[in-house]
Amino acid sequence: MKTPKSMMKVRCECGAEILLLPDVKEMSSAIEVHIALHLEGVLGQPCTAEEADRLRDELIIQIFRLAGESEEEKEEEEEESK
């Protein structure tokens, strides 16, 4: 069974899941909010700026991967409607 697009999530190394949002600005602020939790030590040991950058990159890579998958689906749908 496929996961509906609206339910797609990216998972941080800490195990937290961030819901994939269609709005880029909202998505990036959701990431920043989560990264800030790491920097502030809310999730355990405060992480370094380098570690925060790495976690952010990991999340962004996952987002691009998911976005790429849904883009392919869209193209297929367009093909079918022709």
> What residue number has its CB nearest to Zn ion?
12
Query: Please, are residues 39 and 17 in contact by the beta-carbon 8 Å criterion?
Result: no
- Piece of the chain touching Zn ion by CB under 5 A; list 4-12, 19-27, 63-71, 73-81: 4-12
Nearer to Zn ion, 14 or 19 (CB): 14
Nearer to Zn ion, 64 or 73 (CB): 64
Is 14 among the residues that bind Zn ion (CB under 5 A)? yes
Is 60 among the residues that bind Zn ion (CB under 5 A)? no
- The Cα–Cα gap between 59 and 12 comes to 6
The runs of H, that is alpha helices, within 1-82 are 24-40, 49-81
The conformation of residue 18, written as its DSSP 8-state character, comes to E
